[in-house]
Amino acid sequence: MTTVKTGQVPLAHDSEMARATPRKASMIGVNSRKLWLTVLGWGVAILIFFPIFWMIVTSFKTEAEAIADPSLIFAPTLENYVEVQLRADYFKFAMNSVVVAFGSTLLALLLAIPAAYSMAFLPTKRTKGTLLWMLSTKMLPPVGVLVPIYLLFRDTGLLDTRTGLIIVYTLMNLPIVVWMLYTFFKDLPKDILEAGRMDGASTFQEVWYLLLPLTLPGIASTGLLSVILSWNEAFWSLNLTSSQAAPLTAYIASFSSPEGLFWAKLSAASTMAIAPILVFGWLTQKQMVRGLTFGAVK
Amino acid sequence: MRLRHAIPLAGATALVSAAASAETITVATVNNNDMVIMQGLTDEFEKAHPDITLDWVVLEENVLRQRMTTDIATQGGQFDVMTIGTYEVPIWAERGWLTPLADLPDDYQVNDLLKPVRDGLSYDGTLYALPFYAESSMTYYNKALFEKAGIEMSDQPTWQEVSDWASRIHDPQNEVYGICLRGKPGWGENMAFVSTLVNTYGGRWFDMDWNPQLDSQAWQDAVSFYVDLLNNYGPPGASSNGFNENLALFSRGNCGMWVDATSAAGKLYNPDESQVADQLGFAPAPIAETPKGSHWLWSWALAIPATSDSKDAAETFITWATSQDYIELVGETKGWTSVPPGTRESTYENENYQQAAPFADFVLNAIREADPTDSTQEPAPYVGVQFVGIPEFQAIGTQVGQMIAAALTGDMSVEQALSSAQRSTERTMKRAGYPK
């Protein structure tokens, strides 16, 4: 007859407990780490977003409130939005921004896709060097080439034209676009393209029917990045345009002043300038994250 | 029936063709309040001149300066009217970049323009730009704080008095500071003020052979005084305060005194913008060893680049925007404290303006007494009170300004700052080929 000593049950129970405690402890550890990471994530997000939040808040204050001690309690006003619209035609500037940002992105992709294809799938011993050289052009401060480009634009009649700005932005973003596409294309197994070639696909068909559909998230995120970079570019837009082709960056610049109060008006103009790209970025964020991850986890 | 349709159609066609034939001129200007008012009166100009349409490019001062310099130096021809200052006009005129304004219409009354301003915008006796507004510098003080401290402002304050008064007013625990002055580095920011201080301490930027004088005793005394004054009785973070920051501080009642541009008077006197409008006192800029060069002279002016294809239309516009009639128009539509100051004798004779702007006499006297051709105790080879009228000065002024700001923050001593400034200025001048 097997007797169970009263003390044995607690023993068995103890061993279960002994097994459960580390698991529970590790669960608690995981949970607290998760909590900390969440808090950190939110902290960083709030830190990044705070200037934009404060700009939006300031745009609803009066000029006197904007320079007074920071406060979230105030009577909101739309007078700054009315004033900036009265002083400058927002839609003219916004239209220039849209045309130039999307036009330059389209042109950059048209040039970069064949370039990245050839570098990724038909590399030569100079490919790496070429890629590095392309990137090195980004290291030159733009002001260094301002006068030559200004003279070229003057002689070709491209000053203060959207076409001129599209050309400059395309050249400005091309190295980044080529590099990003090159990275995405490199991830694609060569065998897929070879299979297409075996089936008699021409180079164009290979790119159009195989490469582009398979790397679409990468191309989309590259395009989105190029649009954002073009939208926010200020140096060339301020220097190469005056009244006809000036985009939103020039619109914002016209509200800053060394004499007199301007923070609330500048905030209103800036809020209006970033609104379209903010909405665009929000709508396309899934695509963008997918594309960037596509390149990051290779 | 047909005729009834045809008449409006013909009218519309005529209107369209008139609009199409209007000459468009591109005006580049800064985003200061007076210019914003000018932009707001576009319709008035176009109504009076239906054959001319205005296209505006409004930018922040530094951005605009860079933009216009690039355009004019490369003969880009993007602008028909440029807003430039007394620093640029003689330099650009000498290079043939500006259109001379020798044959202005009689009704423009060119002799009504204040002489020092007219001289500052001329080269070789010819006018190259028309003054839109002009300013000098003067002392603003808070009457309530002066009264509380038992101080009476003198007719011509000295810097020693100012320092003494600042020490009596200074109460940082209640956010009241004895004095606010420019500390933000830049040739048009802290160096505009420091240059006038050096002038009145008997110093100069260069001797007659273009040797920099930044290590002279006058510079040492002036800059040491400035650094001590601001560190002892100035607001915290004074090295990042420019015109705007000090305007905000003074208008909120945080400063006992402020020495800066006369163009601030209208803003400080406006109760909508300033909490000290009823406590505002004015006095001439303080002096030390000599009154010479103790207050600056600056004018924002409208010029026509030589590359403009629409010179006649541009001249029509700039004569309108700087005319007596324009000043009357602003006075009547926007209020008399908003009229562009410092350009015409007639403005100061106008009773409406005298009533609305009690600071008018100070401004007029300050401008009249500023002499850019004789602003230093010892002779100097350059024109300009708070700047040196040579192309190299923008770089020199900004570099020296950074060193003086470093002395203000305590990153280096005044001796170190001035010695570095002297060396860097010597290098720049040597590279530029001085003496010429």
Does the structure's ipTM exceed the value 0.90? no
Q: Do A253 and B32 touch (CB under 8 A)?
A: no
Distances (CA, A) of B222 to A218, B199, B207, B354: 62, 9, 17, 36
Architecture of the domain made up of B18-128+298-360: 3-Layer(aba) Sandwich (3.40)
Q: B342 with B363: CB under 8 angstroms? A: yes
Compute the distance between CA of residue B50 and CA of residue B118 in angstroms, rounded to an integer.
Answer: 30
Q: Is A190 on the interface with B (CB under 8 A)?
A: no
Radius of gyration of chain A from its Cα atoms, rounded to whole angstroms? 28
**DSSP conformation class of A206:** I
Q: Is it the case that residue A79 has pLDDT exceeding 80?
A: yes
- Cα distance between residue A282 and residue A289, in whole Å: 11
Could you check whether B18-128+298-360 and B137-296+374-431 share the same CATH topology? yes
Does position B338 have pLDDT exceeding 90, yes or no? no
Task: Kindly state the average pLDDT of the residues B179-199.
Answer: 95
Segment B339-382, tens digit of pLDDT: 999 999 999 999 999 998 888 888 899 999 998 889 999 999 99
pLDDT tens digit string along A116-151? 999 999 999 999 999 999 989 888 899 899 999 999
pLDDT at A17: 54
CA-nearest of B203, B370, B225 to B289 is: B203
Residue B35 has pLDDT above 50, yes or no: yes
Contact B63, A252 (CB under 8 A): no
* Residues in chain B within 8 Å Cβ distance of A68: 252
Q: Under DSSP, is residue B11 helix (H, G, I), strand (E, B) or coil?
A: helix
At residue A12, the pLDDT reads: 47
- Candidates A86, A259, A261, partner chain B, best to mutate (most B CBs within 10 A): A259
Residue ranges per domain, chain B?
Answer: 18-128+298-360, 137-296+374-431
pLDDT at residue A11 in the model: 47
Task: Give the pLDDT mean for B321-332.
Answer: 96
Q: What is the CATH number assigned to the segment(s) B137-296+374-431? A: 3.40.190.10
Interface contact A88, partner B, CB < 8 A: yes
* Contact call for residues A237 and A249 (beta carbons, < 8 A): yes
B252 vs A68: CB contact, 8 Å cut-off? yes
pLDDT of residue B330: 95
What pLDDT, on the 0 to 100 scale, is given for residue A65?
A: 83
B71 pLDDT more than 90: yes
Of B60, B70, B273, the CB nearest to A258: B60
Highest mean pLDDT among A38-52, A243-257, B269-283: A38-52
Query: Which of A1-10, A222-231, A287-296, B220-229 bottoms out in mean pLDDT, i.e. has the lowest?
Result: A1-10
What's the confidence (pLDDT) of residue B50?
Answer: 95
User: Tens digit of pLDDT for each residue in A257-274?
Assistant: 766 678 899 999 999 999
Which of A69, A257, A266, A270 best tests the B interface by mutation, with the highest count of B CBs <10 A?
Answer: A257
- Window A:19-48, CB contacts with B under 8 Å: none
Is the pLDDT at B9 greater than 80, yes or no?
A: no
Does pLDDT of B7 surpass 60? Answer: no
Q: What is the pLDDT of residue B14?
A: 46
Mutation for testing the B interface, residue in A92, A165, A243 having most B CBs under 10 Å: A243
Give the separation between CA B25 and CA B56, rounded to whole angstroms. Answer: 8
Residues of B in contact with A151 (CB under 8 A): 74
B179 DSSP β-pair partners = B257
